[in-house]
Amino acid sequence: DIQMTQSPLSLSASVGDRVTITCRASQSISTYLNWYQQKPGQAPKALIYVASNVQSGVPSRFSGSGIGTDFTLTITSLQPEDFATYYCQQSYNTPYTFGQGTKVEIK
């Protein structure tokens, strides 16, 4: 199975900060990497697909990059509604593994 490792697992940030979350795959997955946001008590929400494509309706402050084994999710100018847990996921092959999640908290 492909292992997905996120870092950091948690971070504290202020409104307006730039936040970067990294995700590393245990083998090359090309750009088959997706990002999701989950708030407490809610289902995950799709943010980014195929490493760098923003889902429809997602604010432009969210962006993704990477190829191969190393990927990043960047949130420019963090907003109050962005405090949540973020997961990366590989869709290169089954099982479609997720990272452990990164919890973004208010500083």
Partner 1 sequence: EVELVESGGGLVQPGGSLRLSCAASGFSFGNYWMHWVRQAPGQGLVWVSRISKDGIITNYAESLKGRFTVSRDNAKNTVYLEMQSVRAEDTAVYYCTRGGDRGFDHWGPGTLVTVSS
Which residues form the interface with partner 1 (CB under 8 A)?
1, 34, 36, 38, 42-46, 49-50, 53, 55, 87, 89, 91, 94-101
Backbone angles phi, psi at 63, to 5 degrees: -145, 155
β partners of residue 36: 46, 87
State the Cα angle at 8 between 94 and 96, rounded to 5°: 5
Strands 102-106 and 10-13: parallel
* Token code pair at residue 27: 């083998």
CB of 38 or CB of 72, closer to partner 1: 38
Smallest separation, CB 73 to partner 1 (Å) = 13
Residue 46, helix vs strand vs coil: strand
Smallest separation, CB 5 to partner 1 (Å) = 12
Smallest separation, CB 82 to partner 1 (Å) = 18
CB of 34 or CB of 75, closer to partner 1: 34
CB of 63 or CB of 97, closer to partner 1: 97
